[in-house]
Structure 1
């Protein structure tokens, strides 16, 4: 169990050789990298400006302005705001990045599949049909993400017991990230969402390990922009190394 968790935890970094040794994959990653930079940069800036300004107004209306107490309150609110911004940016980045970069991520995944299996299972209608399947799958996954993560996040704001729900949201996000990044080859095989979830849960330690690294990478500003294409490579590769036999 521990070995599977550690294997999943380190797996994205094990595939860096596969990522950097294939010029076509690197080339296909350029556009997603630029899009991710524009998407996350815009979301982060707008979220910081909007939330920070509104929290400052709330602080001044409740606690007044000036003085050491007001300074301490603002400092604590700034820290809290920063983590809220990170979470909001994480959700919006997963949505916008997943949908807008879907054609490029699909192309990267197909390239990895050819390397790992020597062939490619794709729709008889061609690449555009595969992209459509990928986008459709993204929408279904995002519905799942929002229906569970948002309520858990809101419950996580409750005093005393909030940390329990925050922990549950983190664990779910780890499993979701594994589902998200192994989904490209699954979507090409027209695998249903229930079967995908069952597949992820069939090896929880592996899924939690891989998902923990993927969650951390997608959560941290800057790192998520650069390394997200690598996670597409890692997720597709992990599917063929560990999950393909159980589908």
Structure 2
């Protein structure tokens, strides 16, 4: 097999490895129930707030769908209804993408000490970080908030075009949701690896470069987390495992043993 033929196989293999990192992270946190419970507390708090927000959003979704399809007001009833359904699906998809990313960002800020401990435990299991940088709680929190706001801003800029592309026949209901999941997974990987990269004194711009060096690995992990977070209560129950898996992703991307 020549280099051109082996490249897709290698990419697929790395993607599968990335997916498996979430499972490995789950195994690590399950082996330490105390840390698992500590990691669940911030996620439960954020989850309650987001659950209420989702219920309110679904309550007003029909009205929102009608408002964003104002141009179809004079169309035939069945056509107007079809457009409103597509718009509603697009709005729901946009809300899910934005909700998952902001949930992760908010939960990471609330539970920073807990998730720092989980990440540190994973690092120590595989040799630690000899040159770890101690940023301090407040400085680390400020950096986390700043990075999270940047990623949320990116998600808004990306989400609006995806919503508009959702009106395309066929592709808008097939290709665009998959593309949205891939972008969401990439942004999740960037968010979740913030803790291990900050431990090495590296910010968002650094981890973008490092994670981009092996995109299939990063997309495999991020896509697995994104899919898991779509499951009801998945984001709450799997948040500690996602942090552990993200630490493994950071180590592997930096050429460290896992």
Alignment match of 1:218 (pick from 224, 229, 232): 229
Indicate how the Cα distance of structure 1 residues 192 and 224 shifts in structure 2: closer, same or farther if over 3 A, else same: closer
Matched, 1:20 2:27: no
- Partner of 2:249 in structure 1? 238
Deviation track 1:167-203 (CA, whole Å, cap 9, x = no partner) reads: 4333222222222222221123332433322212211
**Equivalent residues in 2 for 1:27-46 (5 A)?**
27-46=37-56
Deviation track 1:184-239 (CA, whole Å, cap 9, x = no partner) reads: 21123332433322212211221121121011122333222211221111111222
- Partner of 1:172 in structure 2? 183
**Equivalent residues in 2 for 1:46-85 (5 A)?**
46-55=56-65, 73=81, 81=88, 84-85=91-92
How far 1:6 sits from its partner (Å)?
1.1
- Aligned mates of 1:169, 1:157 — CA distance in 2: 10
Segments ≥4 residues shifted beyond 4 Å: 53-59, 61-65, 76-80, 119-123, 163-167
- Aligned mates of 1:100, 1:8 — CA distance in 2: 23
* Matched residues, number: 239
- Aligned mates of 1:89, 1:165 — CA distance in 2: 14
- Aligned mates of 1:166, 1:85 — CA distance in 2: 11
Indicate how the Cα distance of structure 1 residues 181 and 101 shifts in structure 2: closer, same or farther if over 3 A, else same: closer
How far 1:123 sits from its partner (Å)?
4.4
Any gaps of 5 or more consecutive residues in structure 1?
A: none
Per the normalisation by structure 1, the TM-score is: 0.78
**Equivalent residues in 2 for 1:109-188 (5 A)?**
109-119=119-129, 123-147=133-157, 149-160=158-169, 162=172, 165-188=176-199
Matched, 1:11 2:21: yes
CA RMSD in angstroms, aligned pairs only: 3.3
Indicate how the Cα distance of structure 1 residues 207 and 125 shifts in structure 2: closer, same or farther if over 3 A, else same: closer
Say whether the 8 Å CA contact 2:225–2:242 is kept in structure 1. yes
Matched, 1:191 2:202: yes
Any gaps of 5 or more consecutive residues in structure 2?
A: 1-9
- Aligned mates of 1:131, 1:110 — CA distance in 2: 16
- Aligned mates of 1:121, 1:141 — CA distance in 2: 27
- Aligned mates of 1:143, 1:77 — CA distance in 2: 27
- Aligned mates of 1:96, 1:174 — CA distance in 2: 14
SS of equivalent residue, structure 2 residue 254: helix
Matched, 1:90 2:97: yes
Say whether the 8 Å CA contact 1:8–1:209 is kept in structure 2. yes
